[in-house]
């Protein structure tokens, strides 16, 4: 968790940014002001950064992007970088580099996100990333990271020595091996054990309370949802397209997620305790997105 404050920065709360580490590859989710300092502080190697996702073009979610790209460029990066964000972000980058006569030394691939429909953005061998349309007054999407199902594990010690490579492949896919007459020779259930459960993480910031996201976040392991306000400002939250801690917890409860992480705290609240207490009344398995902490899925 690199930053979990909202628009007004304070010395101990930074603007939004998260780093997702998946098998050593880094996915940066939003890039508020000073994100690159937060990355240095966490000793996150820039070369591992492969993908950047920007939810929307309010400054507290992307004003750290230009300096980060500039540093990657000066650092001699040559590997491609994949950037996903709202349309218009490419114009900002192009203009910034054009007026300073700058030149990119690495390929920067930009894909604009359709803000209206859930869209598959990335399909990697072990993982997919999908957009989640949010309700924030301007084009804004969250991101759903979902591991693909793991293949079953082969129990080699149970198999006879003469079993063919073809049969092993079939078992590894989770299918039974049949003999010439169509009878089961090796049943997958006898020679394999299920692989680990596939994990999932959803990032939803910024947004008004929005039940239309429920079908996408149903049953996921970890949900990050913004909770800019508390109950005392529920009216204000709706007016400015944000959510309260209680509403975030209600969504988590309705979607049956494993754990809820709340953040994007307004600087008008000097402590976090009230956010946690309010959310936990509705959904006990809630944690605060404290900056600098890691949250394993």
Q: Which of the stretches 58-66, 127-135, 147-155, 214-222 binds Zn ion when contact is defined by CB under 5 A? A: 58-66
Q: Which of the stretches 57-65, 109-117, 145-153, 277-285 binds Zn ion when contact is defined by CB under 5 A? A: 57-65
- Please check whether residue 222 is in contact with residue 297, taking contact to mean a CB–CB distance below 8 angstroms: yes
Total chain residues near Zn ion (CB under 5 A) = 3
Q: What is the DSSP letter of 265?
A: B
Cis bond before residue 206 (omega within 30° of 0): yes
Positions 200 through 219 that interact with Zn ion (CB under 5 A): 206
Catalytic residue list contains 60: yes
The structure tokens listed for 256 are: 């049956």
- Please check whether residue 161 is in contact with residue 175, taking contact to mean a CB–CB distance below 8 angstroms: no
Among 13, 38, 58, 77, binds Zn ion (CB under 5 A): 58
In angstroms, the Cα distances linking 207 to 47, 70, 242 are 32, 30, 5
Q: Which of the stretches 56-64, 75-83, 161-169, 289-297 binds Zn ion when contact is defined by CB under 5 A? A: 56-64
Nearer to Zn ion, 58 or 77 (CB): 58
Q: Which of the stretches 59-67, 99-107, 156-164, 274-282 binds Zn ion when contact is defined by CB under 5 A? A: 59-67
Residue 42: CA atoms inside 13 Å, Cβ hemisphere, count?
Answer: 22
Distance CA 70, CA 102 (A): 9
- Please check whether residue 278 is in contact with residue 230, taking contact to mean a CB–CB distance below 8 angstroms: yes
Q: CB 85 → Zn ion: shortest distance, Å?
A: 13
Q: CB 202 → Zn ion: shortest distance, Å?
A: 17
Q: Which one from 12, 25, 30, 60 is the annotated catalytic residue?
A: 60
The structure tokens listed for 204 are: 């939803």
Q: CB 164 → Zn ion: shortest distance, Å?
A: 57
Distance CA 95, CA 145 (A): 31
Nearer to Zn ion, 33 or 60 (CB): 60
Q: CB 264 → Zn ion: shortest distance, Å?
A: 6
Nearest residue to Zn ion, scored by beta-carbon proximity? 58
Nearest CA to 116 among 139, 136, 137?
Answer: 139
Nearer to Zn ion, 58 or 208 (CB): 58
147 binds Zn ion (CB under 5 A): no
Q: CB 206 → Zn ion: shortest distance, Å?
A: 4
Among 30, 60, 147, 278, binds Zn ion (CB under 5 A): 60
In angstroms, the Cα distances linking 198 to 14, 109, 112, 121, 148 are 31, 28, 28, 19, 6
- Residue 129: phi, psi to the nearest 5? -130, 125
Residues near Zn ion, by CB under 5 A: 58, 60, 206
Active-site residues, by number, are 60
């Amino acid at each position: 968790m690199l930053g979990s404050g909202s628009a007004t920065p304070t010395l101990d709360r930074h603007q939004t940014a998260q780093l997702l580490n998946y098998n050593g590859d880094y996915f940066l989710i939003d890039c508020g002001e000073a994100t690159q300092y937060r990355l240095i502080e966490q000793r996150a190697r820039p070369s591992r950064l492969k993908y950047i996702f920007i939810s929307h073009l309010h400054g507290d979610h992307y004003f750290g992007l230009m300096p980060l790209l500039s540093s990657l460029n000066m650092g001699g990066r040559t590997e491609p970088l994949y950037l996903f964000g709202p349309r218009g972000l490419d114009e900002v980058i192009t203009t910034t580099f054009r007026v300073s006569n700058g030149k990119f030394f690495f390929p920067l691939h930009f894909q604009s996100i359709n803000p209206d429909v859930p869209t598959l953005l990335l399909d990697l061998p072990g993982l997919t990333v999908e957009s989640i349309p949010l309700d924030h007054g301007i084009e804004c999407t969250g991101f759903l990271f979902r591991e693909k199902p793991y293949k079953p594990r082969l129990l080699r010690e149970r198999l006879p020595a003469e079993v063919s490579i073809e049969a092993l492949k079939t078992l590894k896919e989770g299918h039974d091996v049949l003999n010439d007459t169509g009878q089961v020779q090796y049943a997958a259930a006898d020679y394999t054990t299920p692989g680990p459960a596939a994990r999932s993480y959803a990032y939803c910031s910024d947004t008004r309370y929005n039940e239309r996201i429920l079908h996408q976040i149903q049953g996921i392991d970890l949900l990050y949802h913004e909770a800019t306000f508390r109950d005392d400002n529920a009216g204000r939250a709706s007016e400015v397209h944000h959510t309260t801690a209680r509403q975030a917890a209600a969504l988590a409860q309705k979607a049956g997620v494993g754990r809820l992480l709340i953040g994007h705290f307004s600087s008008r609240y000097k402590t976090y305790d009230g956010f946690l207490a309010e959310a936990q009344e509705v959904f006990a398995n809630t944690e605060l997105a404290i900056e600098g902490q890691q949250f394993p899925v």
